[in-house]
Structure 1
């Protein structure tokens, strides 16, 4: 039972961690907060990550009810989530150079760090999928907290990690995550199509 629970938690936490993409978001966040001291940077990042966690958990618990109200099938959500993940992963592997991408207010509040950098459409779609599968709220919540906790550790050690890896190292980690995320997005698409065939097409 414990082994099954732990396996389910890690199966949920790993893709969520990749979607949160703390290594990819790290240089963007640091450039936004470059005018603050390292201590103030950590406080702002922790605050924004707490906002992101609250929004993610909210969608996890309300996602199934929202799907019922809007009459959205699980297959639709899984296919849509897979498409979104695929697009996000392609952007991670082939990022666009945009000089205005990191411009923000000196102290960003909720936007853009909490939303959409961490609690973006792909993450919210993923937690809605997990929450609607009936895997168990405790398992899904534990997976979310595990992925969020790992992201917090990386972000709070961001300045030191950025100096250690350098810009090239951070880009390499982001693209590696993008490659893994492509596989997960295709798997989500396959699951959505299989669910549609088995549950909606068959009488």
Structure 2
């Protein structure tokens, strides 16, 4: 079983990759035509769906990586590269595209659960972690611990948006990106170190 620092590291990584702070404007825009109570029901439902999808990919990840015979150093280096690219987008976000309003039909699975929460980045990351884990319990625990505050943040997204404003949300997302870059570089260094030892 992984030690507590490793579980905490995974938890922080997953929380940053879910990017609940960065998703606040998108969730608010897509749900603005619904009553507050209805908004919260939709958010909770979509977050539960996203949680199920993320855990499913974690459970399948080890099997897929073993089937294609991917070694541990490759998994760690790939994870570091993925995290680094995500962090760069958080720090230097691309030009925002206009979000199409949903008036009469509430969003279901797409785009809130997938890909805004359970996007390609976190799905790839949990698969990579699964490939180097001794058991699934520690990773699933980290996923759930990261998911819980992310869900609470999005449930209170309308209040947070009013409280800290767009600039505050942007600043927090950039701060999370900086932390994610540190984690990514640490993963890259560990992967290179393991590779050199194996040569």
Q: Distance in 2 between matches of 1:72 and 1:113?
A: 31
Higher mean C-alpha deviation, range 91-100 or range 140-149: 91-100
Q: Which residue number corresponds to residue 24 of structure 1?
A: 22
Residues of 2 paired with 1:11 and 1:72: CA distance? Answer: 23
Cα separation, 2, equivalents of 1:31 and 1:70: 41
Measure the CA separation in 1 of the matches of 2:25 and 2:151: 14
**Closer, same or farther: CA 72–169 of 1 in aligned 2, 3 Å:** same
Q: Does 1:56 align with 2:57?
A: no
Give the gaps of 5 or more residues in structure 1. Answer: none
Aligned pairs for 1:3-152 (under 5 A) are 6-100=4-98, 102-103=99-100, 105=102, 106-152=105-151
Assess if the C-alpha contact under 8 Å between 1:79 and 1:192 holds in 2. yes
Aligned-pair CA distance for 1:104: 5.8
Instruction: Flag structure 2 segments of 5+ consecutive residues without an equivalent.
Output: none
Post-superposition CA distance 1:64-102 (Å, at most 9, x none):
1001122222332322222222121111111122333x2
Cα deviation, residue 21, structure 1: 0.9
Contact 2:84–2:180 (CA<8 Å) still a contact in 1? yes
Compared CA separation, residues 175 and 124, structure 1 to 2 (3 A)? same
Whole-Å separation in 1 of the counterparts to 2:130 and 2:157: 31
- Residue 157 of structure 1 is matched in structure 2 by 156
State the shift of 1:182 in Å: 1.0
Aligned length: 197
TM superposition outliers: structure 1 runs of 4+ over 6 Å: none
**For each residue in 1:10-59, what CA deviation from the matched residue of structure 2 results, as whole angstroms up to 9, or x when unmatched?**
22211111111110111111111111111111111111111111111111
- CA contact 2:66–2:131 (8 Å) conserved in 1: no
Task: Call closer, same or farther: CA 1:56–1:163 in 2, change over 3 Å.
Answer: same
- What TM-score, normalized by structure 1, do the two folds share? 0.88
Specify whether residues 7 and 184 from structure 1 end up closer, same or farther in structure 2 by C-alpha distance, changes over 3 A only: closer
Q: Give the Å deviation of 1:193.
A: 2.0
